[in-house]
Amino acid sequence: MIPLIVFFACALLAVASAVTLILAREPIHSALSLINVMVALAILYLLLGAEFISAVQIIVYAGAIMVLFVFVIMLLNAGVEERTDYSKLAKYAGLPLGFFLLIEIARWMYGSSAGSTIANGAGAITGAVSTRDLSSELFRQYLFNFEATSLLILIAILGALVLARKNQ
């Protein structure tokens, strides 16, 4: 009972924040709603038993990547999102089609074989995934991927540095 309540509360929060991201006029409000979505998803990861991923989501995604976004918005003073009128095609055909896409994806995921056969029992079997198991998986089977991503981060740092230096 309680997991169901928590799930619906967080799902509602996530969807409401995503809609706020679309409807907000200022980029800073969009950024705050995205942080909201990430925190709601972190709670959902806890419900799914992935404790480490939940903490990593908050530390890295909500606590570092979004801080970067917020910094850039503040530094560039990105201004108010202007409300120029969309073309008629976009307004009367595009938006309904967009939401139709959304409903279709949701319905497909609910009705697909992947969703329904695993659907009901699987959530209750084991408890949380321990960090020890996850890290032994990460550092044994996926060691190469791990080192490759560290190389990727190094390249990203170098790229950002080069871009920042080019202006001098």
Does 153 contact another protein by CB under 8 A?
Answer: yes
Does 93 contact another protein by CB under 8 A?
Answer: no
Residues within window 65-84 making contact with another protein, judged by CB under 8 A: 65-84
Min CB(92)–another protein separation in Å: 13
Residues within window 108-127 making contact with another protein, judged by CB under 8 A: 108-110, 114-116, 118-120, 122-126
Does 30 contact another protein by CB under 8 A?
Answer: yes
Does 53 contact another protein by CB under 8 A?
Answer: yes
Min CB(2)–another protein separation in Å: 9
Please say whether the beta carbons of 41 and 57 come within 8 A: yes
Kindly tell me which of 64 and 92 has the beta carbon lying closer to another protein. 64
Gap between the terminal Cα atoms of the chain: 60
Distance in angstroms (rounded) separating the CA atoms of residues 43 and 52 = 12
Helix 131-140 vs helix 143-165: angle between axes, to the nearest 10 degrees? 80
Nearest CA among 46, 47, 73 for reference residue 58: 46
Please say whether the beta carbons of 39 and 58 come within 8 A: yes
Does 26 contact another protein by CB under 8 A?
Answer: yes
Min CB(14)–another protein separation in Å: 6
Q: What letter would DSSP give residue 149?
A: H
